[in-house]
């Protein structure tokens, strides 16, 4: 009987003669797992996925002495997971339905490489419809709103929408089915009752082929955007021991009822009274599995491989602890200022993970120089921090985000840092509506307090002066030997967020005293202008900023408390003269439609001469397996159309112009 996620890959391909020879494993920081070299599992495993999950599986396989085979599309030929593998096989071109969803090509790779097992990771084939969840029935009335429209074969928020009326149901059905077909090769949908304002809490289960099953505690996954998780933690601040046990026991009961064997996740919606409602069971490894590994000490990938080979579980329920607290932030190549995250593409010109910090784990499948393309999920990494307490784990996450260097693509670190430092999140008062409730007008970045503004202005002024002093030196000496004694005081003007501040700067060694709006701020640091990180101490408080750019004209971009701020530092004379420069007239955005992100045009609904109403769909853009409907900002006649279905467009490209 097929009881694991990976076996369904073989089953769907219908190669019966091959089934008996190839087992399939459904899909780190493990802190206490022992890798027994005498425990023989598999000689070779093929990983039918890409990115960080492929790399993560390969790391465990290496520890277990198992050779690995990577599959890849043609554009992924130089990807990190390909370099890590012992063997690699190209399974097709970039589109997922021709490569990572191409079961025939993957089956052929399994045969050619002699792989004994396959690990699908998550997404792609791990979401395939052929692995049915049996003995689970749901009864409900669907003639009332709201309803959830979701891909039957999917996960990760793709192919999922909430509809509050008939029109939204029709629109959601169309877009969700298209996304589902693109992401999973299956456009079938489910429609179920939507529970408004819940928490999303899931139970990790682990079961073997001998009738044993465990629940490995819960994960709190309520921080979401577009139904996709953004920040997760384990355990949940909300569950008491009784509710945790009840949810865990029901999750194990479900796994046993369907004779499931592997690691899996049973997801629930939990209301304010701790009533919980079954949502679905994911018969694979979840993106957020590392936080469970942190608090239990188990390596879930190792456990899956052992179970697939037929070994019994090594632990009993009473052996499963909750040791400490773990937080995971999903770091994406996305612009968080656009719908909480529209995709960004580009090459990672500079990339530095904060793995030098204690109790920090980064699961990634990229490196400096890697390309983020429109073809695949925009996840850069999973950033995980661990501590003895939740407060300790959160502080480490704050430090890790400040020390994470990502250049070349827009990323969502500003949003992640705002979430984990938000008073409501810190208190544990969260639901799946957290983001739209706290940012009803969209995410705007960190909002500076008067103290924060002074800190940023003072640091920018100190950095500007440090750069000026550095430019006067050559190999540690002054460029001109006759230069008089170095200046120790400066009168400057700092422009920030349409505000102007007259500042006075004095220096003593590596410490600057900056008077901002009559308040003195002391800033000290090493001022290494060649470093990606700028560690400073501001009024005895340590901070880590990043200088993203600076030029001779005094324009400086600083990442401060996670958010990028553009600052201009000028001398008093230049500031006075710049007031006479003409201002650039902003573009009238109501008459033009530009692409908010790089992607491909799925559909264009208008032509020149058409009259459109405000809010009417103009076109649909797909990027990284997500479809976005673009609408008219006003009622007008279409003047010109600059795109057509099937074309690739860049961020900011003109799509349609209105009269």
The catalytic site residues sit at 284
Q: Are strands 534-538 and 541-550 parallel, antiparallel or unpaired?
A: antiparallel
Q: Tell me the C-alpha distance between 398 and 413, whole Å.
A: 10
Contact call for residues 252 and 320 (beta carbons, < 8 A): no
Q: Tell me the C-alpha distance between 292 and 449, whole Å.
A: 36
468 contacts: CB under 8 Å, gap ≥ 6: none
Q: Tell me the C-alpha distance between 251 and 213, whole Å.
A: 10
Phi then psi dihedrals of residue 610, to 5 deg: -70, 145
User: From start to end of 241-315, where are the E strands?
Assistant: 262-270, 276-282
Contact call for residues 260 and 278 (beta carbons, < 8 A): no
Q: Tell me the C-alpha distance between 410 and 378, whole Å.
A: 11
Strand partners, 515: 504, 520
Q: Tell me the C-alpha distance between 124 and 99, whole Å.
A: 10
Distances (CA, A) of 87 to 180, 326, 417, 519: 31, 34, 39, 62
Helix (H) / strand (E) element for 116: namely: none
In 53-69, which positions are buried (b, 16+ CB within 10 angstroms) versus exposed (e)?
Answer: bbbbbbebbebbebbbb
Q: Supply the angle between the helices 5-13 and 103-113 in degrees, to the nearest 10.
A: 100
170 contacts: CB under 8 Å, gap ≥ 6: none
DSSP symbols for 306-373: HHHHTPPPS--GGG----SEEEEEEEESEETTTTT-EE--EE-SEEE--TTSTTEEEEES--TT-EE-
């Amino acid at each position: 009987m097929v009881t694991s996620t990976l076996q369904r890959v073989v089953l769907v391909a219908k190669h019966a003669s091959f089934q008996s020879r190839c087992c399939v494993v459904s899909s780190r920081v493990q802190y206490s797992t022992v890798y027994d070299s005498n425990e023989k599992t598999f000689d070779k495993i093929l990983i039918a996925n890409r990115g960080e999950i492929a790399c993560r599986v390969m790391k465990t396989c290496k520890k277990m002495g198992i050779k690995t085979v990577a599959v890849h599309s043609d554009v992924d030929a130089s990807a990190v997971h390909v370099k890590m593998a012992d063997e690699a096989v190209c399974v097709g071109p970039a589109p997922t339905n021709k490569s990572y969803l191409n079961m025939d090509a993957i089956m052929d790779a399994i045969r050619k490489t002699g792989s004994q097992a396959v690990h699908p990771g998550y997404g792609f084939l791990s979401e395939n419809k052929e692995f049915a969840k049996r003995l689970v029935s749901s009864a409900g009335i669907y003639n009332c709103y709201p309803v959830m429209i979701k891909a039957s074969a999917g996960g990760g928020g793709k192919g999922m929408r909430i509809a509050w009326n008939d029109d939204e149901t029709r629109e959601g059905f169309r877009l969700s089915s298209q996304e589902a077909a693109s992401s999973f090769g299956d456009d079938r949908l489910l429609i179920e009752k939507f529970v408004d304002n819940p928490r999303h809490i899931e139970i990790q289960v682990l079961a073997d082929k001998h009738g044993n099953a465990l629940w490995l505690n819960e994960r709190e996954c309520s921080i979401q955007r577009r139904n996709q998780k953004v920040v997760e933690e384990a355990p949940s601040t909300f569950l008491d021991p009784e509710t945790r046990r009840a949810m865990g026991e029901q999750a194990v009961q479900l796994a046993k009822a369907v004779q499931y064997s592997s690691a899996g996740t049973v997801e629930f919606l939990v209301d304010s009274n701790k009533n919980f409602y079954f949502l679905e069971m994911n018969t694979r490894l979840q993106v957020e599995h590392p936080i469970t590994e942190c608090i239990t000490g188990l390596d879930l990938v190792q456990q899956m491989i052992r179970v697939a080979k037929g070994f019994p579980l090594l632990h009993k329920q009473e052996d499963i602890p909750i040791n400490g607290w773990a937080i995971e932030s999903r770091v994406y190549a996305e612009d968080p200022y656009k719908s909480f995250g529209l995709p960004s593409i580009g090459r990672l010109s500079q990339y530095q993970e904060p793995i030098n910090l204690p109790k920090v784990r980064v699961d990634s499948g990229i490196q400096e120089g890697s390309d983020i393309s429109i073809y695949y999920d925009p996840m850069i990494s999973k950033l995980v921090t661990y501590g003895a307490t939740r407060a300790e784990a959160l502080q480490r996450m704050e430090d890790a985000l400040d020390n994470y260097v990502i250049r070349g693509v827009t990323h969502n670190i500003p949003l992640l840092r705002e979430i984990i430092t938000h008073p409501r999140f810190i208190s544990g008062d969260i639901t799946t509506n957290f983001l739209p409730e706290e940012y009803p007008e969209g995410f705007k970045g960190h909002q500076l307090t008067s103290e924060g503004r002074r800190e940023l202005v003072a640091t920018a002024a100190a950095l500007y002066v440090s750069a000026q002093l550095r430019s006067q030196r050559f190999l540690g000496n002054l460029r001109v030997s006759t230069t008089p004694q170095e200046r120790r005081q400066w009168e400057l003007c700092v422009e920030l967020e349409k505000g102007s501040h007259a500042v006075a700067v004095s220096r003593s060694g590596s410490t600057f005293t900056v008077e901002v709006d009559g308040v003195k701020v002391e800033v000290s640091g090493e001022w290494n202008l060649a470093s990606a990180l700028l560690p400073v101490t501001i009024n005895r408080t340590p901070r880590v900023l990043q200088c993203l750019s600076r030029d001779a004209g005094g324009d400086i971009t600083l990442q401060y408390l996670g958010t990028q701020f553009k600052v201009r530092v000028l001398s008093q004379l230049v500031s006075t003269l710049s007031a006479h420069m003409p201002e650039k007239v902003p573009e009238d955005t109501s008459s033009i439609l530009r692409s908010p992100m790089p992607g491909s045009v799925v559909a264009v609904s208008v032509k020149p001469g058409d009259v459109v109403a405000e809010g009417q769909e103009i076109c649909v853009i797909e990027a990284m397996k997500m479809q976005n409907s673009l609408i008219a900002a006003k009622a007008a006649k279409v003047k010109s159309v600059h795109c057509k279905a099937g074309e690739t467009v860049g961020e900011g490209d003109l799509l349609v112009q209105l009269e």
